[in-house]
Amino acid sequence: MRKGFTLIEVIVSVSLLSLVAVGSMFAITISLKSAARIKNNLIAANLAQEGMEVVRNIRDKDWHLGNSFGVSLPNGTYNISWDSALPAPFSDIFLKKNLNGYYNYVAGADTIFKRKIIIENSAQNPSTVEKVVKVEITWQEKGGIPKLIQAEERLFNWQ
């Protein structure tokens, strides 16, 4: 009866263990990269939704104050954050994240995200009863890969 392992058995065992370890490390690396991309896509989608909600809130505030539809939302390109009373003219700057986790343009650490809000009269209905609101969130992934999420909504004079 033989005792111990032969050299060939040891080499085969070490090779198999190495393949499993390398494969596992590769899978973990891919998972971590995917998680970062998914996180950025989720943040960008929520920033786009927030932009739409702020514009809708400005429209609703006009109605509440008795203003005409669209008086606070003239056609143009804007920067708008959650605490905006009125849209600010667009400048190509990064959103900041404050200590409370809120995104804005004034205070906090720079993020990788930029938000542009475009407000136009509808081409189908150019009167003052409909506005088209487009939100674009841009950022760059690691490696300089540009990313973009767009959202579009139509706001109506529902009074």
What are the CA-CA distances from residue 76 to residues 48, 58, 80, 85, 114 (Å)?
17, 15, 12, 16, 17
What is the torsion angle, in degrees rounded to the nearest 10, for the CA atoms of residue 89, residue 95, residue 98 and residue 100?
100
The sheet that has 103-104: what strands, in order across it?
103-104, 96-97, 109-110
Q: Going residue by residue through the chain (159 aa), what tens digit of pLDDT does each one get?
A: 566 668 888 888 899 999 999 998 989 888 888 888 899 999 999 999 999 999 999 998 888 888 888 888 888 999 988 777 778 888 899 999 999 989 999 889 999 999 999 999 887 766 668 889 999 999 999 889 999 999 999 988 876
pLDDT at 4: 67
pLDDT at 133: 94
Q: Is 91 helix (H, G, I), strand (E, B) or coil?
A: coil
pLDDT at 87: 82
pLDDT at 85: 73
CA 62 to chain centroid: 27
pLDDT at 158: 73
pLDDT at 73: 86
